[in-house]
């Protein structure tokens, strides 16, 4: 049965219209036309602006209030297409593939000049992007210089959102079973050595799925893929002449649209094709057992501070979308100029609807929230005890099975690792894991106690709040900071290429260069670096919690000591795939360690250990050891840790696994470790010994050789040994 | 070049649809009508002759999926002679999984029912 309201009632300069539907916000394809709906509490006037795709000037501008013609008689008639604070209008007979749209808005306030503070920034001379645009044009081919004189830079487009998912749905892999692989879409395949047809795109990641499968990860976390402007604050390095860009994209232009420049189909200027390309990637990843997580940036937008451009939000309803001081300056808890007003109910709903859209329409498996502590601040910046946005996300029905991960700090000094409002759902990037493991790895003394917590999923941070090990996303490296190779090759950051006199990027790297700063020809230095990388990966993969690897770390990828490569679209950032051959030894090691973790549920506990035997195996779930079995050394001068996991306690005693023993000797010399005895029928086998040359450094799970001396293992200096009792 | 589409049905039950010009949202329904016609004639194979098809938008891609769904999983769909840009669009968006692409009409392969 056809609807009875799909006929025009009004005409404006030949365009057929009718009063629109207020919900959903954005542009929606409806029978015979397109429904446009946009909120503004403070605008008194709104105009819909339509363009032929790519045109310099508008095709038509249709006011939401004014004189129209009656559709049936052509007689003049006054009309206003608004319900509450929502301007809404349906326009008929539009070719959804060939138009772009935007809005002009005005309000009863005096104009605020650029650079001046102000509560309202209406400027009807500007064409505004729809905050709910599902596709955005203007930067559809990565790196193509924009026309700076364009009257409309980021152009809202329409998307036909059907897709043949072929039965796909999010994988819902238990969080404790994930191994996350963090990647930048462009960096992953842009290097010529990637050998893909469309370098730097969603389509190219699809070509690399066999590689991801071989490595063994089961989740990729994509650095921001919401539409952003790579030319935001772009500049030329004064010394090198390099064009420095907003390469990472932590500055959102539109929350509902995938970055068109990341799509091989971007050049088609067809937003639906871009969506299809990304959905196809997600579908293929799911077919291969790999989840997709998005790094989402809701703490600020690309509109900057008082001097920033009017793209969308600030021209629509500045005081609703942004946190403002009483004088009308932008609060800057994000460190990037402005702060999205996330606990305003309107903005909160937008964030919620956005995530629902990505979960439902793109089958996204989870989200990592950049500077998530901001999402817990009230409109004036004070931390809320019970932040409504975080609660709403945790209890949302559509997001009910999505992973929610917080970067639990912000640039305004709010640090919530261990205390982020979790509602039984939220996990955290565990910055303390990163710092403690780095310090232990480089041989700092007195870390045994801290390491015992980090290896167990940081119960010191999470158990008090009834949060299990999965609250802890364990990582040693991520996009922010050194790569793993640089962590063992540089004592200090080398960010000169960023053009900020090496003042940017963190100074608390806890790194050690193994005796020489930067590339070395000394075989001993390089051997030690390789061993340290293996040590790090081994520690990560035997830690309870959820491990995350930075893409390329399995190949010893370097950024030449740059710990903040946010602006480089160059070989500095691109993953060099020739390293797959030159560092095959490390790749093999990482692959084995991931496979070992996947093979042993005892490493993937959902609940914290209890330090007791609750299944009658004769062993506690976890026991701590030192150079003497059963005698852990927690002293302040110690640089080693050893522990054993009882396989009969795997997954809370519901699964039977092997026993696992790990000895970590970060002292520079060898140390003999006496081994805890196993039940009579079991023997220790060697899975990893980073002190041994490749290929004896690791074994494929299941093929581990029997240990000759079952009572003792001499662990080399700065080495990790992993034994499996079976 | 204006879009054109025609259907030829062989005695052996092969539906050949010849497409030319630009296939976008404004004309996709013409293509879909021909697919429905082929389905109603119980075609055993669907052959899309695309030598002269210059452009395919996302609406055109959807018509391919529509064809797959309409004809049923047992009916193979052959895309013959697609121009490079059209084939690239099909591949980048992942729709190549739904079809068999051939450079030219291969009677041995297509007519061997």
Q: Measured between beta carbons, which residues in chain B are less than 8 angstroms from residue A284?
A: 94
B57–A95 CB contact, under 8 Å: no
Helices (H), A138-265: 185-189, 202-207, 209-215
Residue A370 is a catalytic residue: yes
The reported pLDDT for the residue numbered A109 is: 92
Is A428 within 8 Å of A408 (Cβ atoms)? Answer: yes
Residue B71 confidence class, pLDDT cut points 50, 70, 90 = confident
pLDDT tens per residue, range A669-706: 999 999 999 999 999 999 999 999 999 999 999 999 99
Look at residue A603 in the predicted model and tell me its pLDDT.
98
pLDDT at B113 over 80: no
Judging contacts by C-beta atoms under 8 Å, the chain B residues touching residue A268 are 57, 89
**Mean pLDDT, rounded, for A229-233:** 95
pLDDT of residue B112: 80
Measure CB to CB from residue B92 to each of A162, A198, A284 and give the nearest one.
Answer: A198
- A476-494 confidence digits (pLDDT tens): 999 999 999 999 999 999 9
SS3 state at A487: helix
User: Using the beta-carbon criterion (under 8 Å), do B89 and A162 form an inter-chain contact?
Assistant: no
pLDDT digits (tens, 9 = 90+) for A312-365: 999 999 999 999 999 999 999 888 899 999 989 999 999 999 999 999 999 999
Residues of B in contact with A96 (CB under 8 A): 25
* Cα of A197 to nearest chain B Cα, Å: 10
Instruction: Give the mean pLDDT of A562-581.
Output: 97
Query: Which residue from A425, A519, A536, A422 is spatially nearest to A478, judged by alpha carbons?
Result: A536
In chain B, helix, strand, coil percent, each to 5?
40, 30, 30
Q: What is the largest CA-CA distance in chain B?
A: 36
Contacts of residue A115, defined as CB under 8 A and 6 or more positions apart, other chains included, come to A306, A307
Task: Choose, from A176, A306, A370, A480, the residue flagged as catalytic.
Answer: A370
Q: Residue A439, SS3?
A: helix
Q: How far apart are CA A308 and CA A474, in angstroms?
A: 36
Q: What is the CATH number of domain A607-725?
A: 2.60.40.1180
Place of tokens 């990341």: A262
Q: Give which of A532, A535, A531, A581 is closest to A555, Cα–Cα.
A: A581
Q: Tokens 């819909």 sit at which residue?
A: A48
Interface test with B, best of A157, A276, A287, A363 (most B CBs within 10 A): A276
Q: What is the predicted pLDDT for the residue at A335?
A: 87
The winner for highest mean pLDDT among A331-345, A515-529, B28-42 is A515-529
Given a contact cutoff of 8 angstroms between Cβ atoms, the answer to whether A155 and A100 are in contact is yes
Query: Residue B96: which pLDDT band, with cuts at 50, 70 and 90?
Result: confident
Percent of residues, chain A, with pLDDT higher than 70 = 100
Mean pLDDT of chain A, nearest integer: 96
B94 band by pLDDT with thresholds 50, 70 and 90? confident
Tens digit of each residue's pLDDT (9 = 90 or more) over A434-459: 999 999 999 999 999 999 999 999 99
CB-nearest partner of A272 from B26, B58, B69? B58
Question: What residue segments make up the domains of chain A, in order of their start?
Answer: 175-601, 607-725
| pLDDT(A205) > 90 | yes
Question: How much is the average pLDDT of A460-469?
Answer: 96
What's the Cα-to-Cα distance from A683 to each of A2, A210, A359, rounded to whole Å?
Answer: 73, 35, 47
**Angle of CA points A439, A440, A445, to nearest 5°:** 95
What pLDDT does residue B70 have? 87
pLDDT of A163 above 90: yes
pLDDT (average), residues A215-231: 98
The interaxial angle of helices A271-287 and B58-71, nearest 10 deg, is 50
Q: Is A55 exposed, middle or buried (0-12, 13-18, 19+ CB in 10 A)?
A: middle
Q: Which CATH class is domain A175-601?
A: alpha beta
Best A273, A278, A281, A363 residue to mutate vs chain B (most B CBs within 10 Å): A273
Q: Is B93 in Cβ contact with A280 (below 8 Å)?
A: yes
- Put simply, the answer to whether B59 touches A264 (Cβ < 8 Å) is no
What is A326-379 written as a DSSP string? Answer: TTSPBP-TTSSS--B-TTSHHHHHHHHHHHHHHHHHS---EEEETTGGGGGB-T
pLDDT at residue B73, as a whole number: 84
In which band, very low, low, confident or very high, does the pLDDT at A306 lie, cut at 50, 70 and 90?
very high
**A261's torsion region: left (phi>0), alpha (psi -120 to 50) or beta?**
alpha
Interface residue ranges in chain A relative to chain B, Cβ cutoff 8 Å: 95-98, 160, 162, 164, 198, 203, 206, 263-265, 268, 270, 272-273, 276-277, 279-281, 283-284
pLDDT (mean) for A80-105 = 97
Question: Tokens at residue A674, please?
Answer: 């006496």
State which residue of chain A sits closest to B68, comparing Cα positions. A164
Buried (b) or exposed (e) across A284-322, using 16+ Cβ within 10 A? bbbeeebbbbbbbbbbbbbbbbbebbbbbbbbbbbbbbb
Is B92 near chain A, with CB under 8 Å? yes
Q: In this model, does residue A179 exceed pLDDT 90?
A: yes
What is the model's pLDDT at position A161? 87
List B residues 14-43 in contact with A (Cβ-Cβ < 8 A).
Answer: 24-26
Residues A494, A519: contact at Cβ < 8 Å? no
A547 pLDDT above the threshold of 80: yes
Token digits of residue A542: 């035997």
């Amino acid at each position: 049965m056809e609807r009875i309201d799909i006929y025009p009632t009004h005409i404006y300069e030949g365009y057929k219209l009718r009063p629109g539907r207020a919900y959903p916000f954005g542009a929606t394809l409806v029978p015979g036309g397109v429904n446009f709906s946009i909120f503004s509490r403070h605008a008194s006037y709104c105009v819909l602006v339509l363009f032929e795709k790519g045109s310099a000037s508008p095709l038509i501008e249709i006011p939401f209030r004014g004189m129209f013609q009656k559709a049936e008689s052509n007689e003049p008639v006054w009309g206003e297409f608004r319900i509450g604070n929502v301007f809404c209008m349906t326009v008929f007979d539009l070719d959804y593939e060939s138009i772009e749209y935007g809005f002009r808005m005005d309000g009863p306030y005096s104009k605020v000049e650029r650079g001046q503070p102000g509560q309202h920034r209406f400027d009807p001379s500007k064409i505004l992007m729809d905050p709910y645009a599902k596709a955005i044009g203007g930067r559809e081919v990565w790196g193509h210089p924009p026309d700076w004189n364009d009257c409309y830079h980021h152009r809202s487009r329409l998307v036909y959102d059907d897709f043949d998912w072929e039965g796909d749905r999010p994988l819902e892999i238990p969080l404790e079973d994930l191994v996350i692989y963090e990647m930048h879409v462009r960096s992953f395949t842009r290097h010529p050595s990637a050998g893909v047809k469309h370098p730097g795109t969603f389509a190219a990641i699809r070509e690399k799925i066999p590689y991801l499968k071989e490595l063994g990860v089961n989740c990729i976390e994509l650095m921001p893929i919401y539409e952003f402007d790579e030319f935001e604050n772009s500049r030329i390095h004064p010394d090198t002449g390099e064009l420095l860009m907003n390469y990472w994209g932590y500055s959102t232009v539109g929350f509902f649209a995938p970055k068109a420049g990341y799509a091989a189909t971007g050049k088609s200027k067809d937003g639906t094709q871009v969506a299809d390309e990304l959905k196809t990637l997600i579908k293929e990843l799911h077919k291969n057992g790999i989840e997709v997580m998005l790094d989402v940036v809701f703490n600020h937008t690309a509109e900057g501070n008082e001097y920033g451009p009017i793209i969308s939000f600030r021209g629509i309803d500045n005081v609703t979308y942004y946190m403002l001081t009483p004088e009308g300056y932008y609060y800057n808890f994000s460190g990037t100029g402005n702060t999205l007003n996330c606990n305003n109910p309107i903005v909160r709903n937008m964030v919620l609807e956005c995530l629902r859209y990505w979960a439902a329409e793109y089958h996204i498996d989870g989200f990592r929230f950049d500077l998530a502590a901001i999402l817990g601040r009230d409109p004036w910046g004070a931390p809320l005890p019970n932040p409504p946005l975080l609660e709403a996300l945790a209890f949302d029905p559509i997001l009910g099975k999505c992973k929610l991960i917080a970067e639990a700090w912000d640039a305004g000094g709010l640090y919530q690792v261990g205390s982020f409002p979790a509602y039984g759902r939220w996990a955290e990037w565990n910055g303390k894991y990163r710092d403690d493991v780095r310090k232990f790895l480089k041989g700092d003394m007195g870390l045994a106690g801290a390491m015992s917590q980090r290896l167990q999923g940081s119960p010191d941070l999470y158990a008090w709040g009834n949060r299990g090990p999965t609250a802890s996303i364990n990582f040693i490296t991520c996009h922010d900071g050194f790569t793993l190779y640089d962590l063992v090759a540089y004592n200090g950051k080398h960010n000169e290429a960023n053009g900020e006199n090496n003042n940017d990027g963190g100074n608390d790297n806890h790194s050690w260069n193994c005796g020489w700063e930067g590339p070395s020809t000394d075989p001993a230095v390089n051997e030690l670096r390789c061993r340290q990388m293996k040590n790090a990966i081994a520690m990560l993969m035997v830690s309870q919690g959820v491990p995350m690897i930075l893409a390329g770390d399995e190949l010893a990828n370097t950024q030449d000591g740059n710990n903040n490569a946010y602006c480089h679209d160059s070989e500095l950032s691109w993953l060099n795939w020739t390293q797959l051959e030159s560092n095959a030894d490390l790749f093999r090691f990482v692959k084995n360690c991931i496979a070992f973790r996947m093979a042993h549920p005892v490493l993937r506990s959902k609940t914290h250990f209890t330090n007791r035997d609750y299944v009658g195996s004769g062993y506690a779930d976890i026991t701590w050891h030192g150079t003497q079995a059963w005698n852990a050394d927690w002293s302040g001068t110690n640089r080693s840790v050893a522990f054993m996991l009882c396989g009969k306690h795997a997954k809370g005693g519901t699964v039977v696994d092997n026993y696992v023993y790990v000895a970590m000797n970060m002292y520079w010399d060898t140390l003999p470790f006496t081994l805890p005895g196993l039940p009579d029928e079991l023997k220790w086998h060697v899975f990893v010994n980073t002190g041994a040359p490749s290929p004896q450094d690791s074994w494929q799970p299941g093929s581990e050789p029997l240990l000759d001396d079952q009572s003792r293992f001499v662990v080399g200096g700065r080495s990790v040994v992993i034994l499996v009792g079976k | 070049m204006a879009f054109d589409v025609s259907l030829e049905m062989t005695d052996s039950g092969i539906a050949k649809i010849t497409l030319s010009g630009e296939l976008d949202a404004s004309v996709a329904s013409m293509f879909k009508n021909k697919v429905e016609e082929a389905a109603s004639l119980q075609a055993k194979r669907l052959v899309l002759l695309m030598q002269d098809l210059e452009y395919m938008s996302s609406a055109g891609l959807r018509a391919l999926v529509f064809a797959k769904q309409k004809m049923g999983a047992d009916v193979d769909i052959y895309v013959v002679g697609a121009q490079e840009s059209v084939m690239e669009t099909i591949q980048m968006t992942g729709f190549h999984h739904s079809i068999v692409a051939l450079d030219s009409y291969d009677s041995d392969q297509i007519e061997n029912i």
